[in-house]
Every structure is written in structure tokens, then in C-alpha cells.
Amino acid sequence: MSPSTPSSTDVLALRDILELAQPSRHTPSTTVVSEILRRLEPLLGSDGVAFHAMDARDFSYQHMQGVEAGEEYVLSGADLSSDGSVDDGLDVLQDHWWVSPCSLIERTGEPVATNIRSWYGERRWSQHPLHREYLTYADELIFGFPLGGARSLRILAPRESGSAFGERELTLCRLLLPHLRDVLTAVVAPPDAPADTLTERQREILHLVQNGMSNEQVGAALGISPTTVRTHLEHVYARLGVTSRTAAVAAAFGPTRGGTA
């Protein structure tokens, strides 16, 4: 029987993944994400791990990459088909998508960490059309974030056979979830979009943040209130698709050792 809670060894593996996910330490890239996925596979006890940026309105993909048994792949842009999709054999998945745990991210509009068997159970899953005709796995972990509308970033970790994922694996996913968003978002952001989408004032504020200034110090330097600084930063986060000061600086100007989280 597998443990129900993460072990001290799991904590060490989590620490290494979290270090990779920090934009201030590692410039977000497909290589960094591949290394994160490579470390997730043995940690979760899965048969491969994949990262998808998708739009469920038409089941199109902006980006796909994964690691399986040490082999990695990256598909984006011209690597995907002309309409952005990568597989025309998705009829069964599309038929069941909106009533399955696969669509929880889009339906809830919230970060999600779940697994298929926790919704269906072993017997029901073995008889389900999704299992018989498309996802032939014994179980699959699904965790990720909404991007608005029906767009999402998601990590998928299947288990080809054997037991279902348990509370240990779900706990690990929940612990990782808030720390992976920035690095995953940066990888799928359009090239050169960050700096171009910021206003002159927003770039000015970010430069001061890059130098380690607090909201109060930035406000004093620019003659505006700390509340106005915070509002500008919130708009910056939304434009860059990040959730922290450090990640915003890294997305706009590249990685730096300065600034505060």
C-alpha cells in the first residue's frame, strides 16, 4: 500500500522542483519545464507527465510538451496542425468532456488538482467509454489553472496500470500548484509580448521594483500613492499572466536577483 502523506524524500524532490520554477533563478523556458516534468514523473509514480496549453472551445492546443520514460517532446507553433489541434481522434473525449473531471478547470474557473478514479471509482471507470475508447489508463492526475474563457494550462500524469493515485500524490500536486503557474505561463506567452503590452508607467514601476523598492518607496519616488502602485502592479500581473513581483520583473526584463517576491 502506498503512503497517504508525502515523505521526507518527497519534500526534497519538491524543493528541487520549486527551485526550478522560480523565475528569479531560472529563466522560464521549455527546457526548464521539461526538467520539472522529468522530476515529476518519478515523484508521482506516473507513466509520463505532459504539459498542455489548450482551448476547450475547439479543443485546440497552443503548446504541448512532455516526458515519458526519460524521452521528451515539445510541440508548439508550426509543430501543431494549422488549426492548433494535434489529434483528430478526440470524439469520445469531446462527447464526455463537460461532464468529466477533465473540464473541472474550465467549469470552476479555479486551480484544480484531481484524478479520474476519485470521480469514477475502479469499476465505473473500467466500463466508461472514455476509458474503453480513448484514455486506457488505470488513472490520471489532472492539475492546472484557468486562463479565462475555456483556456487552461494543465499538467497530466497518467498511470498505465496498477492502483489509482492516492492522497499522497494529490497532496503533492496541491503543494506544487501555486508555484508552477508563472513558469508555465511564461513558456506559452507570445514571443516579445510582455514588454510591448506594458505602458510606460508600468515599465517605470517595474524598473523600480527590480531595484528592490517596496510599493511605498516606488510611490514616493514617482509621487503617487502606494495604493496606486499596487493597482498598477495588479494590471501588470494580468497583462503578463503572472502572480508575483519577481515573476513580473523576470517576464518583462529577464531574470534578476533583485526585487522582492
CATH number, domain containing residue 206: 1.10.10.10
Residue 233 lies in a domain: yes
CA-nearest of 61, 40, 53 to 187 is: 53
Q: In what order do the strands lie in the sheet with 151-159?
A: 71-76, 60-68, 49-55, 151-159, 139-148, 112-115
| Residue 233: domain span | 193-253
Angle made by CA atoms 87, 90, 81, in degrees to the nearest 5:
25
Q: What is the pLDDT of residues 121-150, one digit of tens each?
A: 999 999 999 999 899 999 999 999 998 778
Whether residues 35 and 79 fall in one domain? yes
Q: What is the pLDDT of residues 150-161, one digit of tens each?
A: 889 999 999 999
Report the domain count for the chain. Answer: 2
Of 157, 188, 219, the residue that ends a domain is: 188
Whether residues 110 and 202 fall in one domain? no
pTM of the model: 0.72
**Which residues are registered as beta bridge partners of 148?**
151
Give residue 201's pLDDT.
87
